[in-house]
Amino acid sequence: MNDSRPGRVLFSAEAIHRRVSELGEQIRGDYAGRPLTIVAILKGSVIFLADLARHLGHGVTIELIEASSYGDGTTSSGQVAIRRYGKLDVQGRDAILLDDIADTGNTLTAVRRSLEGMGARSVRTCVLLDKPCRRQVDLVVDYFGFEVGDDFVVGYGLDYDDYYRNLPDICTLRPEVVGVRA
């Protein structure tokens, strides 16, 4: 059997839990008394969404979309495919665009433009991981959990070829694991 362990732990489950709680407090304070729509990008944001939503209080709706520029690889194609699930009504509402990671910025930028075009009152971004060293577009993330370097990371929703999402920690992906099924 091949060794498919991902790599070293960058952020433990405990550290993630603390930081997500802090983000929830910050967002709840920023939007106190105002209805808020979280637009979460599938699949990577699902675990982050579930944990963050518990800290946001009342007056929050959740919408899900699928948007990706990665496919099955470890590098972005630069082309963003967006698919909506349901109505996705953000007209006149404040929206937070939620994703697992801001990497090249292509996906967040494309989805943000789409939400603005749908008449959202405001659109801010929230990611668990911010990787500014890989930006291909001008993107400033409004809320982020942790900044990371140029490592490929997995766990807590982040994947390689749909594997490793269920890890409680965020880990680097060892180069020799690429191409190996978990």
Active site positions, annotated: 103
Quickly list H helices, the chain: 13-30, 46-53, 106-117
Query: 4: exposed, middle or buried (C-beta count within 10 Å: 0-12, 13-18, 19+)?
Result: middle
Cβ atoms of 138 and 166 within 8 Å: the answer is no
Cβ atoms of 126 and 23 within 8 Å: the answer is yes
Nearest CA-CA partner of 31 in 126, 125, 117, 96: 96
